[in-house]
A and B are shown apart, each in its own frame.
Chain A
Amino acid sequence: MSLLARALDSDIWHSFRSSKTTILAAAVTAALVVAALLAPWISPQNPWDPGALQLIDAFNPPAWAPEGSWRFVLGTDDQGRDLLSAIFYGLRVSLTVGFLAVLFAMIVGIALGMFAGYAGGATETVIMRLADVQLTFPTILIALMIDGVTRALLPGEAHDRLAVLVLVFSIGVSNWVHYARTVRASTLVEKRKEYVQAARVIGLHPVIIMVRHVLPNVMGPVLVIATVGLAVAILTEATLSFLGVGVPGTQPSLGTLIRIGNNFLFSGEWWIVIFPGIALAMLVLAVNLLGDWLRDALNPKLR
């Protein structure tokens, strides 16, 4: 059987096809990811190029409003930025930061968790106590602290230039614990199994045993955490940007756009908040639904 045929016959594919909500969530996620990827080609305007922005276009309402124009379908913000283009580009920032932060947290978490589980003893105690301590503090607080400290360490201009990396680092560091705990627990189970003992007997290096043999067997739960973690990371990025400590205003993410719109709530320009808000909520909801489904699909108890 070919790989494709096997994939189409798997349990996961069947459970995916039988849930309409999941199909819809996957479609929405895919559409938003594609919009983010193709942003430079499908956007009517480049919202990151100050030269393309005309102040005279500022505060245009959406096209269907009495004073709206079809040049700016979802209206414009205070600097004449086309909101539709800004949302496409903003999705790009949100997804980039989200994916990279999850990847970073995953690598750190898997490495430390597997190391703790495999090594045991004092190493395990130190790593897992550290994880326990960190887990008592909410993600957003840790991310804010790290952001504040890097701000003190780096000069202002360098901080702005590295904003995305700082975000990835602070969100990633504040999320590694979940991966580490799960991976450690599975590693403890796996390392007592015969295949690991056999690998040890033939004298393989512990690192090779961990990466080549244990890792593939502990990845299932990690994928579930990563999906939910993506939603959390996107939300954290949006929150940090909304609070004004995320990406700089010249390259706005969805959170930054909402922050901008928040300033004009009382003067009646509701669209600057609402449209980026809808995009953000749709993205997070869709990813969350996918995560829920994946958790149920990979949970052997529910089969």
Chain B
Amino acid sequence: MIAYIVERLFQSLLVLVAVALIAFAVFQYVGDPIASMVGPDTTAADIARMRENLGLDKPVVVQFARFIGNVLSGKFGVSLRTVKPVEELIAERLPATLELSGMAALFALAFAIPLGVLTGLKPNHWASRVFMAVSLVGISLPTFLIGILLILLFGVVLGWLPTFGRGDVVKIGFWTTGLLTVSGWQSIILPAITLGLFQLTLIMRLVRSEMLEVLRTDYIKFARARGLTNRAINFGHALKNTLIPVITITGLQLGSIIAFAIITETVFQWPGMGLLFLQAVQFADIPVMSTYLLLIALLFVGINLVVDLLYYLVDPRLRADRGAMERGV
């Protein structure tokens, strides 16, 4: 067990170092950082001094060590577009993205599991067929189109819900939340649905296929033979055993939700990290881009690690069989 955790931690660290190297290379070598700072009357001596101040005259290894040191102490450079420290920009935007992603994940889970169970238990019922067909269309519609259609229906035609921004926010320490005001809740509905819909269809299909598989197994037949109620069989035995892959996928999807927030935030002008990143891409604002990359990598690696460990805790078979732990998928 401990050996496994150490091994996974080591792997995660390796990934982070690799991403840090990429971020460093992009940060340091794409576009000359000096070029963006000099004016027409900067002398060659000034440039040389700036180069020295930024440490650009040192060997690459030293520069990389310095980059890592800066990152670890929370210094990510200055945004080329807004001329503000990147860490400030990100801290300002982070709460908006996390709240949106959290609501989207809750929305997806709250609908996906019941619908998955329903379509799994009664695959030939008309409602199941409708849900499956709709989910196929849901997968084929790009996120941004779903957002636009929701805006068109609920914002423009019906006029029920706000279609851009976060509404009124309340500041608690460094965290700004929209979840304490009515307009904040109204504003989060459409973006959260847009962002969660794809995960909803994905998890629903997963629960369905797992249910279909589990219901064919021997222990379900035995449970029936013992005369257990349908309820006890379906929820106590079948659903419980489908949840392991569901946990894994949901966890892994959490990372994608935060990444796909880029699109949703653009459609709804949601003032989160994704919108910040997109503006950075459009303006080739390298410091913001490389910081975002690092942050997302940290997040993804962290989520992957937690999911792997959870998997290990939830499924007793993995503890017995060392070979199965190497996720051969």
Interface residues in chain A, defined as those with a beta carbon under 8 Å from any beta carbon in chain B: 133, 136-138, 140-141, 144-145, 147-149, 151-153, 231, 235, 238-239, 242-245, 258, 261-262, 265-266, 268, 270, 273, 277, 280-281, 284-285, 288-289
Contacts and interface: CB of A to CB of B under 8 A. Distances in A.
B280 A148 contact: yes
Contacts of A151: 281-282, 284
Majority secondary structure, B binding face: helix
B32 to A, nearest CB: 10
Majority secondary structure, A binding face: helix
Interface residues of B, number: 43
A245 B259 contact: no
A285 B143 contact: no
Contact of A136 (B143, B145, B301): B301
Contacts of A281: 137, 140-142, 145
B282 A245 contact: yes
Contacts of A153: 30-31
Given A151-B281, A243-B262, A136 B140 contact: no
B30 A149 contact: yes
A136 B263 contact: no
Given A258-B144, A265-B151, A148 B284 contact: yes
Nearest to B149: A277
Closest 7 pairs between A and B when the two form their complex, measured CB to CB: A148-B281, A152-B284, A285-B140, A138-B259, A152-B31, A151-B284, A284-B140
Contacts of A138: 255-256, 259-260
B99 to A, nearest CB: 20
B24 interface: no
B262 A140 contact: yes
A152 B30 contact: yes
B146 to A, nearest CB: 10
B327 to A, nearest CB: 10
B18 A133 contact: yes
Contacts of B301: 136
19 contacts: A136-B301, A137-B296, A137-B297, A140-B262, A141-B262, A144-B278, A148-B284, A152-B31, A239-B263, A242-B263, A243-B144, A243-B262, A245-B278, A261-B148, A265-B156, A266-B155, A277-B145, A281-B141, A281-B145
Interface string B242-261: 00000000000001100110
Contacts of B15: 133, 136
Nearest to A236: B142
A137 B16 CA distance: 12
A140 B31 contact: no
B152 A273 contact: yes
A236 to B, nearest CB: 9
A239 to B, nearest CB: 6
A262 B267 contact: yes
B8 to A, nearest CB: 13
A141 B145 contact: no
Contacts of B262: 140-141, 144, 243
Interface in B116-164: 136-137, 139-145, 148-149, 151-152, 155-156
